[in-house]
Chain A
């Protein structure tokens, strides 16, 4: 299982959830909030290499945030 965390002062929950919705066919996601962070636990990643998948997901959340602006 992998974990990606997002700073709540920078990222909106709505953007993270929207990204998860678009990526749900490639892995299982579990989104939770912890203090000042949004924690996304990712399992069963159907993509290799996994590091690239995690990087792409993080970039996609940034994209979602930029679009929201």
Chain B
């Protein structure tokens, strides 16, 4: 049994044919669609016949929502068309892009925030310092990092001769005193 078409009527002052066509395109897989103007030409009538195996339930609401979506998109596109064209014109015109870049840089320099100016001056100074330090040779070693510890501070106080170390261990009963004597006599 053939399915009954669902008729959806749109006011052509609110919804353009293009917006309705855009919505139709999304529903081609779900239903067969015909579009025509009413006799007075003030309305556009969309007839939707669900395809075999597709439920007609909720189809009308979905279609209305999609049409509204397309109508809003179209309105936004129309409103921003001029700006979009200008952006494309600038982007694809290198001379204009460079001129605009230079103008923007000048504006940024003249309208700069005093705090950011201070900060950038400080950063520049720091960078200069780093660069001047980098230019210094590693052999100069102003902090004496390469000097051995013993040379700088001398021998550590508790660094004993091996025999004295053995004697101290014997005093602390860590090793046998007789053994130490034997070693020392040798």
- Contact residues in A for B20 (Cβ distance below 8 Å): 10
Closest approach, in angstroms, between the C-beta of A52 and any C-beta of chain B?
Answer: 8
Are B44 and A10 in contact, CB atoms less than 8 angstroms apart? Answer: yes
Give the residues in chain A near B22, CB-CB below 8 Å.
66, 69
User: In the assembled complex, how far is the CB of residue A10 from the closest CB belonging to chain B, in whole angstroms?
Assistant: 5
Q: Count chain A CB atoms within 10 A of each CB in B22, B33, B35 and give the residue with the most.
A: B35
Neighbouring A residues of B36 by C-beta, 8 Å: 5, 7, 10
Residues in A with CB closer than 8 Å to B25 are 62-63, 66
- CB neighbours of B44 from chain A (8 A): 10
In chain B between 11 and 66, which residues have their CB closer than 8 angstroms to a CB of chain A? 17-18, 20-22, 24-25, 28, 32-37, 41, 44, 49
Q: Is the interface of B mostly helix, strand, loop or mixed?
A: mixed
* Of A18-26, A27-35, A39-47, A53-61, the one touching chain B: A53-61
| Dominant SS among interface residues on chain A | helix
With an 8 A cutoff between CB atoms, is B156 at the interface? no
> Chain B nearest CB: distance from A63 CB in Å?
6
Task: For residue B25, give the distance in angstroms from its CB to the closest CB of chain A.
Answer: 4
Known: A69-B18, A69-B22. A62 touches B28 (CB 8 A): yes
* Chain B residues closer than 8 Å to A10, beta-carbon distance: 17, 20-21, 35-37, 44
- Is B2 an interface position by the 8 A CB rule? yes
Q: Told that A58-B32, A59-B33, A63-B25 touch, could you supply 10 new A-B pairs with CB distance under 8 A?
A: A7-B35, A7-B36, A9-B17, A10-B17, A10-B21, A51-B2, A55-B32, A55-B49, A65-B21, A66-B25
